[in-house]
Amino acid sequence: MANSMVLVSLMALGLLMAFSTTTQVEAAARAFFVFGDSLVDNGNNNYLATTARADSPPYGIDTPTRRPTGRFSNGDALGSEPTLPYLSPELRGEKLLVGANFASAGVGILNDTGIQFINIIRMFRQLQYFQEYQTRLAELVGNDEAQRIVSDGLVLITVGGNDFVNNYFLIPFSARSRQFLLPDYVTYLISEYKKILMRLHDLGARRVLVTGTGPLGCVPAERAMRSPNGECAPELQQAASLFNPQLVQMINELNSEYGANIFIAANTQLQTSDFITNPGAYGFTTSKIACCGQGPYNGIGLCTAFSNLCSNRDEYVFWDPFHPSERANGIIVNNIVSGSTNYVSPMNLSTLLALNSDTRT
């Protein structure tokens, strides 16, 4: 499965927990809703018959229990109420008030992305679950209160990297690469992503954090598989450089159409590029080698109990061949929460959450 688990939009998995701690004052009593791929899947795929799972050691090695939770990470931010996977049987009663996580490892913007995983929650289904969740919530608190909880809530969506690595570049001469030149494929992805964001708005979302892809070619897996000298894979770097500016442009256009700053864009490519070009400035030892893996740069295959495992996860930008370490996640989260418009636009998360709910449209 060497290439099939590459889920590399490099968004901070720690967002799942860190928002409710880092922005504790601003986000008091605010629900949190999560959509996307493995970078934000916190366990939905545990309940599915799929190979895209992270429910075996050493995942979760730095959690309080030192056991895997289903997140593709070595740990979690601590001290906050978790947003449960939508498929969890524990998501009922008052736990619905906290929000829900609909994300599923392996998915992309397009329905044909990640087909090798077979049984995953594609984006259209995640949105259907969101609508179903609102029905369950209304049964608990009434229609008006359910609508308020959703419109006042924070939405995170992280999707897009798989559409390149698990679709367009998955194999030589893939169906999508035969159908589209890369620039045209990016334009098509952006148009399909816009439909997803508009559907979120239709379903009541009014504060939506949208992430781009990171430097796709620089993860240990791509260095190991695509670069003879260990440099970043140029074709994937080109994909990211085309995708991210168009995503920001599309978000700005949507905000203009709605007459409010509904969507904010996180420039995760810039954030993770900072780590990769100068890891020492952030206290990391390496940005090339994964903490857990095997082969060159620990970038081949999966992270398993039989893999090489580093002793100090905080020194590594990457936890496994594809996903950031928890410490890298935390730095990205801090930039999104309080960073400059170089990292998030048109405003950072703290500013967005401070806006009065009267800006809802």
Point out the residues that are catalytic. 38, 320, 323
CA–CA distance from 13 to each of 48, 168, 249, 329, 342 (Å)? 20, 24, 24, 6, 20
Task: At 266, list the tokens.
Answer: 């996180």
The DSSP bridge pattern shows strands 344-345 and 263-266 to be antiparallel
DSSP 3-state of 142: coil
Number of Cβ within 10 Å of residue 63's Cβ equals 17
| Tokens 């810039």, residue located | 270
DSSP string, 170-194: TSTT-HHHHH--HHHHHHHHHHHHH
Structure tokens at 214: 């990171």
Helix (H) or strand (E) holding 353: helix 349-354
Q: What angle, 0 to 180 degrees and rounded to 10, lies between the N-to-C axes of helices 123-141 and 182-202? A: 10
What element of type H or E holds 329? helix 326-338
From 182, 39, 41, select the one nearest 174 (Cα to Cα): 182
Give whole-number Cα distances, 206 to 64, 71, 326, 361, in Å: 34, 26, 28, 8
Cα separation, 157 vs 36, whole angstroms: 5
Tokens of 247: 């995503």
CA dist 271 and 336 (Å) reads 9
Q: Count CB-CB contacts under 10 A for residue 210.
A: 27
